[in-house]
Chains A and B, each alone.
Chain A
Amino acid sequence: MDGTGPKTFRLPPDSVVERGVAIENDGGVVGAVFHVEVGGERCMVYEGRTTAGGTELACTCPARRGCEHVAAVLVHMARRMPAAPASGLAEEPTSVGERSSWPSDSAISASFTHLPAAMQAERDVESLEGDAARVRRIHTVISSIIKALVTLGREDGRETLRGLVTELEKELDGVAAPDLVRPSSELRTLVLSGPADPGQAAMLMERLRGVLGVLSAAAEGREPGRKLEASFLGRRWAFEEARRAEDVLLLEVARNTVLTPFGLRRNKAYYLDLLSGQMHVEQSHEQPGDARNPSVGPFPRRVHAGLMMITPGIPPAPIRLLQYVILPPPGEADLLKLKKASISSASEAFDVLKRTVKTVQAPYPAFVSFSPARVLASGGLAALADGEGSILRLAYRVDEYACRSLALMAATNRIHCVVGMLVWTGHEVAINPLSLLLEHSRGLSLVRLR
């Protein structure tokens, strides 16, 4: 198949198609943006690459491809777009038997945050920068959602809210702006899931307030704050706006590649500058789960960055490694520098969070490395205590399993540092651990939790 002709997608087996039809009948395919939800779970169907270089519909669910979500989208497309070549599907979806073809739809490409190079030129929706009309539309939809929530209520206004949230997702589709996308995902959870958690609902309101503030500023042509633009508006940085650093010795202290609730794969690496003690984050944009990420080296890495770009952004300072080599693995002296650079007082940690929240004007996670004096446990729960007896709770509400894992490791190892995100959960300030500096019988070890 050449790159210009109609693209073909192979249908899953009939039994799977039947399940897909059932999902579609239940309204499981929300809009034409390929977000499929089944009983509270949601995933994203997108155009993926086959090993043979062709294209096929792929899904962010664990089945990856050939699943009922893909089938549901195909049926949905057939029903909504009868003029397409495979319009035989439109009349009677249950008789889907032709595993023939379906043209690639621009909506599929709009589902990408990161586009294949060939498609990059076809569209320009990655950033909201300069798209004031779209920014205003997003602002209006979010305001309408909040209004509907307060006046109609979550139960009575469910259908209205569902429609509005879908409209918001359509507007945000393909925009590389995680801090706009994330509240959108949380809104859907709030609208569709079971009993609402009032603390988290209040926290979401705070976040939306921050989002609306940035959008208002952008729509009116004001500067919302350079640090916020990239993550809220998907703005791309010109090289001259960044600082450059040369000959920096970095220790990778945490890596986060988890799947987000939105079905995308995070790709972040956090570094400690071994000389200055500054923390940095190397962040690629979230992208569909099976994106072909190059291998970056065994964790924990020690890296000599010959040339590094430090871009404006929410702390820790975002970086891009332009020229670097991976050095031999870190020794104990390097790992102890992490402990030295860590915060050892809970109050200091809260101050870091307060500064971040003040910058962003919304409850936003702050990256910290905390060195606890003690780890306390009770009935499977653990908490960190500083030397003065103040405690820092673990964010069980955010990632229960990682926190339980920390508690388990603490039972047999000494924990020198907990590297993670300090978050306001709507109930408390807590640390969501990403990695641990442990001391066990064989010495010091930096262990990834995610």
Chain B
Amino acid sequence: MDSSEPQILATEADPDDAFAPGDDGVLHGFYQHLGTVACGASEAGQIGAEGWMRSLTEAGHADLADAWENLGLLSESPEALADGLLELTWKVGEKLRAVHEPARSLEEALSGWEHEDVEEPAGELDEQEAMREHDVRRLVNLLRVGDFVEKREAALSLGDFLLRKRKLASEEHYRLALEALISNRDPAVALEATESLAQLGGSEARRAKVVVERMDAFFDKISDRIRHYWDGASQDDPLDELSDPDLVSMGIWMRRAPDHIAGHVAEYMLARLGRNETGALASVTSAVVPSGDPRLLPVLIRVLQDAGYEARVASIKAIAHIDDPRSLGALRKDLRHATDALERVMIARALANFGDHSGREDLLTRLDESSPSFVREEALKAVGRLPDVEPAVMEKIEALVESPASAIALAALRALSLKGDADTVERLERLAAERVTLRAAANRAAGDLRARLALAGDERFVGAGSDLALATIEKPGLVPRIRSVLWYLLGFVFAGLHQWQKARMAAGRASRINSSSAKGHFLTGYVWIQEGRDDAAIESYRHGLQIDSLFPVRQWGEADRLLGAYLRHAEVLERRLGRRDESIALLEETEFIDLRSADPNLKIEVDRRLDGLKLERRRERLQAEKE
């Protein structure tokens, strides 16, 4: 290379820069060259080299060419050279800023870009395209097993399809789309699914409209209180007055809230952060986990950077639900700093949800037996999001399905539902048939896996029903079945008359006559709840679920009742009896029940309590280890 030619060190050339040719190009190149000189990367002999003098002169910058020449003359005196370099760099920078940018037209600046104008909304969907059967099925499957972004988009697309194509769609597709939205109770998608339903006609739409109106009224009320709080009329923070269920509802529906409510929630979190109230901060942070509200992202990132352990862990989950590049940046940064094993695994899991696998090694190493069970559980939940998982790892996951620790077994099932193949579907179905305790979870995992394989284009699973009929207990003859139904109905009547003991006896009789029916057990559970015996109700529900794990899915309201009993009893165990481990085990048990039709608020409440209890237990253990 001719050293007299203008040059920038090859490593420092920036191919992304699409600077227009001409004067600006020479100036820019020269500015970069001065940068290399400032780092001492340019040999002393190059300073004042003629190539740049010629180019600068030709480009009409004779003053800069002279200054460059003078700089070469100063090479013997380091002080003078440094001063000269500073002045020259300033002059070139000033010229660049003055002449370069305004001269760039749109066409010049975007030369080489395949540019598109993103301001216009996406065009109308092609009607025929949207009507195609596989599109509806694809959306339904995405709503079931997609990541949270895909689920939200699928819910909106299904709502759009139902609204605009009612007359054109076949009855089958219409029902398929409608049922998918009705049955979806994922808290992260509850807002989209309910808003989509509320636009339609019919009973389901009325129910959804009621929910939407209730939440709008709730936000109006909170909004007024927040105004009063900030104008000094009230000293009590409105969020402190919210009950836990209301806090959770607010989190789920946050994206519908006005800006100043989101702003107040952020300020509330900052105030707790400032006062080191980690527990309260963790509670509100975990309530906003499903919100996915980008308005809360700056404060969540701050919680991640500054807060105590429980709040940090909750903020990782919340950030992982916000589809925003800033989430990725914050999580990547935190992964570089985090030292705690659980925190690292949770960050890696969150990153994996965004398609970033930089925490892969962390996750795979935490699958080993040497890892604490809660860390292993989180690693298992995350490993399904990794691509190209080795067969040895898959074998390890399959073995963990047999783990005596229920949380580990459940997490292993989830991992299989994400990473399994067609053979895995069969294995899961077998497991659901053989193992009563794992039935609902294995059934759900198999359904998810079928949906996932259908999405991947496996024809065997396209159009397949998502759930299995799992009547493994032999049914009695017709007469006993009719007798059982009659006793069940009688129990129902007694329950309606508040004659709880007689209702229980009738329901018990119904169960004994037809041992293949779960109805009697669920009615017994209902009666026990009315009598204030949640522990006995849970026992009845357990019997019922062993017979028919999908009963709470089919029977409207049953899942909420069941979950309510678990939550109340867990609270009694923990707060009144101080049996935290039993409380955790009880709440973990709900993970094995198919609760997809349950109220999202209740599901979030279970997650919040479970997280809180587990983290509290962990903190105490770590404290004990330290001491």
Contact = CB atoms under 8 A, between A and B. Distances in A.
A222 interface: no
A133 interface: no
A383 interface: yes
Contact of A290 (B81, B97, B306): B306
A326 B337 contact: no
Given A202-B32, A375-B118, A405 B294 contact: yes
Nearest to B14: A427
B97 A350 contact: yes
Given A51-B276, A354-B97, A401-B325, A201 B306 contact: no
Nearest to A143: B82
B86 A208 contact: yes
Contacts of B323: 408
A67 B340 CA distance: 10
Interface stretch (A101-109, A148-156, A242-250, A336-344): A148-156
Given A153-B41, A346-B101, A404-B325, A198 B85 contact: no
A62 B331 CA distance: 11
A450 interface: yes
A447 B295 contact: yes
B597 to A, nearest CB: 29
Nearest to B113: A378
Interface stretch (B263-271, B424-432, B483-491, B573-581): B263-271
Contact of A150 (B38, B105, B295): B38
B31 A202 contact: yes
Given A157-B40, A295-B267, A448-B298, A300 B113 contact: no
Given A289-B306, A350-B97, A400-B329, A150 B81 contact: yes
B58 interface: no
B274 interface: yes
Nearest to A288: B306
Given A146-B82, A295-B267, A376-B110, A408 B324 contact: yes
Contact of A325 (B39, B87, B232): B232
Given A209-B90, A298-B266, A411-B118, A154 B338 contact: no
A253 interface: no
B380 to A, nearest CB: 25
Interface string A353-388: 110010001010000000000111111011101000
A353 B119 contact: no
Interface string B229-247: 0111000000000000000
Given A206-B93, A298-B230, A347-B102, A154 B39 contact: yes
B270 A293 contact: yes
B52 to A, nearest CB: 14
Nearest to B118: A377
Interface stretch (B4-12, B179-187, B522-530): B4-12
A132 to B, nearest CB: 21
B263 A300 contact: yes
Contacts of A259: 305
A82 interface: no
B457 interface: no
Contact of A13 (B270, B325, B626): B626
Interface stretch (A1-9, A86-94, A189-197): A189-197
Contact of A68 (B11, B98, B339): B339
Nearest to A401: B329
Contacts of B230: 297-298, 326
Contact of B274 (A206, A294, A407): A294
A269 to B, nearest CB: 12
Contacts, number: 263
Q: Which of A149, A190, A205, A405 has the largest number of chain B CB atoms within 10 A?
A: A205
Contacts of B31: 199, 202, 426
B114 interface: yes
B459 interface: no
Given A64-B306, A257-B302, A377 B337 contact: no
A428 interface: yes
Contact of A300 (B105, B259, B334): B259
Contacts of B329: 400-401
A445 interface: yes
Q: Which of B81, B324, B340, B625 has the largest number of chain A CB atoms within 10 A?
A: B324
A354 to B, nearest CB: 6
Contact of B32 (A198, A347, A400, A412): A198
A62 B312 contact: yes
Contact of B119 (A299, A410, A449): A410
B109 interface: yes
Q: Which of B9, B326, B329 has the largest number of chain A CB atoms within 10 A?
A: B326
A289 B305 contact: yes
B412 to A, nearest CB: 30
A57 to B, nearest CB: 16
B281 interface: no
Q: Which of B101, B262, B323 has the largest number of chain A CB atoms within 10 A?
A: B101
B124 interface: no
Interface string A37-50: 00001000000000
Interface in A212-247: 212
Nearest to A426: B35
Contact of A427 (B17, B102, B227, B308): B17
Nearest to B93: A206
Q: Which of A190, A204, A410, A427 has the largest number of chain B CB atoms within 10 A?
A: A427
A207 B306 CA distance: 31
Interface string A422-435: 00101111000000
A376 B118 contact: yes
A381 B33 CA distance: 27
A199 B85 contact: no
B463 interface: no
A361 to B, nearest CB: 8
A293 B94 CA distance: 39
B12 A197 contact: yes
Contacts of A153: 39-41
B566 to A, nearest CB: 35
A204 B37 CA distance: 13
Interface in B601-626: 625-626
A423 to B, nearest CB: 11
Given A209-B89, A257-B302, A151 B231 contact: no
Given A257-B302, A415-B119, A429-B101, A329 B40 contact: no
Contact of B337 (A63, A297, A378, A381): A63
A2 B379 CA distance: 46
Given A61-B337, A257-B298, A410-B119, A149 B40 contact: yes
Contacts of A414: 119
Contacts of B308: 64
Nearest to A377: B118
A205 B35 contact: yes
B396 interface: no
A353 to B, nearest CB: 7
Contacts of B231: 325-328
B304 interface: yes
B472 to A, nearest CB: 48
Q: Which of A62, A68, A200, A300 has the largest number of chain B CB atoms within 10 A?
A: A62
11 contacts: A196-B39, A198-B8, A209-B86, A295-B271, A298-B259, A301-B263, A375-B119, A389-B107, A391-B109, A428-B17, A429-B100
Given A299-B259, A429-B100, 14 more contacts: A16-B339, A147-B79, A155-B40, A198-B35, A259-B305, A327-B231, A329-B227, A350-B102, A375-B119, A391-B104, A408-B325, A414-B119, A447-B295, A449-B298
Closest 10 CB pairs of A and B: A298-B263, A153-B40, A198-B35, A401-B329, A404-B325, A202-B35, A329-B260, A201-B35, A389-B106, A378-B113
Interface of B: 8-9, 11-12, 14, 17, 28, 31-41, 78-79, 81-82, 85-87, 89-90, 92-94, 97-98, 100-102, 104-107, 109-110, 113-119, 121, 226-227, 230-232, 258-264, 266-268, 270-271, 274-276, 294-295, 298, 302, 304-306, 308, 312, 323-326, 328-330, 334, 336-340, 625-626
